Amino acid sequence: VVPAGTKIIPEAHKMDADINIFFEGTNGGWTPAHTTVNDNSNADCEALVELIKQQVAKTGKSKYIVVRLTWVYTNANDNINNHLREAFGEHFLDLKAYLASEQALIDAGITPTQEDLTRIAGGHIPTSLIFSDGVHFTSKGYELVAQQVYKKMVALGYYAE
């Protein structure tokens, strides 16, 4: 058991990647109160933007992508994503806009269920792309995530198609 208040130091800061992907925020801990509770306030949004800006600066690299939060059963993170879009511009990847579409299911070779169509109509990621925990993607979902990240890298000129 790790004692409460123990500082966790990730190893990612030791990486020397050419292209960095920032796909974070879902599990919290970055809010001003350092809790896992995100009330989607401007203060919470600004805290996450500042955290990612610090991480980008620490890499010393200009090639990076910031991926939109994709909480699958809610649109509660829209304010955060609007802040991320504004702060990171062309580096921002709105993954949920794609995943919460019929096109994503077509690309995955999945015939939409009625539940999928209902979820898509509400702006949510279809259940055919996520596990029952409502958080993690299926293997097809992760394939789509990888394809979208790659397409963004190409669009930013990081790779030739």
Residues 19-35 have pLDDT tens digits of 999 887 666 666 666 55
pTM value > 0.95 = no
**What mean pLDDT value characterizes the chain?**
84
Confidence at residue 109, expressed as pLDDT on a 0 to 100 scale: 97
Q: What's the mean pLDDT in 100-127?
A: 94
By residue count, the chain amounts to 161
Confidence at residue 111, expressed as pLDDT on a 0 to 100 scale: 97
